[in-house]
Structure 1
Amino acid sequence: MTSAQRVAKDLGRRLLWWGGGSVAVGAAAALGGGSPAVRAFGIQTAGWGAIDLAIAGIGAARSTEVTADKLRKTLWINTGLDVVYVALGAHLLYHRPTFGGRVTPEQSSGHGAAVVVQGAALLALDSVHAKRV
């Protein structure tokens, strides 16, 4: 196993744990949250967690194909996208747009907070693993 394959495997395992935890916590908040903001946070968190689980599964299936250059490039691109996610989440949290009345300001802030948390966690995962490659 190459160094890049080890890093990819470690990242996949961590993403699996993060995704699984996000689905569990998000589902609990979405179903039992006491406010619209908490329920929105839960919906957003569970959705991101499900996507993280899918990415971890795809990555595990392809881990033998990974090269250091390809993994490094992918992780640095993802790190840039993670910064965008945090910024967009902060925008939702601060400005609380209603998207033409489809969500309340409280729901918008809950969605925004979840995007900030998810983006920050992915930023940490991607940047740490990019440095390891």
Structure 2
Amino acid sequence: MASTRSVAQTLVRRLTRWGAASVLIGGVLAIAPRSRAFGLQTLMWGAIDLGIAVFTGKRTSLPKKSALRRILLVNTALDVGYVATGAHLAVRTPAFGGRLTAADARGHGLAIIIQGAALFVFDLAAARRLSR
């Protein structure tokens, strides 16, 4: 059975790596006009992921195992919502009153799908480790 601390530490490490990679890759892709939307969305998610990892990593106290598992399962449900939202953007390509081109909507949507799917895997894997 995994301890709450080891699960939290593993999750913070994964989120830090994923966030850093997202910031770097997103930053590079945001430079090119054809991948700007995808790159910007990836960069922003990466920055948020890094912020969460830093904030969580500095905490000295952790919730109880059952509370952490519940938080992770709620996050997993939210991750499904992110993927669905990204799919809507990518497929339906809403223009938001002309502020977004179809190509930009697809780029933002695909980036959200990838970020949501990765977070889904991280959160679900951590929740499963806590249930053993």
TM over 0.5: yes
Residues 43 and 130 (structure 1 numbering): CA distance in 2 closer, same or farther, change over 3 Å? same
Structure 1, unmatched stretches of 5+, are none
Instruction: Give the alignment partner of residue 92 of structure 1, picking from 89, 93, 96.
Output: 89
Secondary structure of the 2:86 match is helix
Report the TM-score, using the length of structure 1 for normalisation. 0.93
What letter is aligned with 1:85? Y
Q: Deviations over 1:21-76 (max 9, x none)?
A: 00000000001x241xx110000000000000000011111253232012101100
1:131 equivalent to 2:93? Answer no
Large movers: runs of 4+ above 4 Å: none
Superposed, 1:51-66 pairs within 5 Å as 51-62=48-59, 64-66=61-63
Size of the aligned set, in residue pairs, is 129
Secondary structure of 1:98's aligned partner? coil
TM-score by length of 2: 0.94
RMSD: 1.1
CA distance in 2, matches of 1:96, 1:81: 21
2:74 alignment partner, one of 69, 73, 77: 77
Query: What fraction of aligned residue pairs are identical, expressed as a percent?
Result: 47
What code does the residue aligned with 1:79 have?
A: T
Asked if the contact 1:19/1:53 (under 8 Å) is kept, the reply is yes
Q: Distance in 2 between matches of 1:70 and 1:24?
A: 33
Specify every segment of 5 or more residues in structure 2 that has no aligned partner in the other structure, as ranges: none
Structure 2 equivalent of residue 18 of structure 1: 18
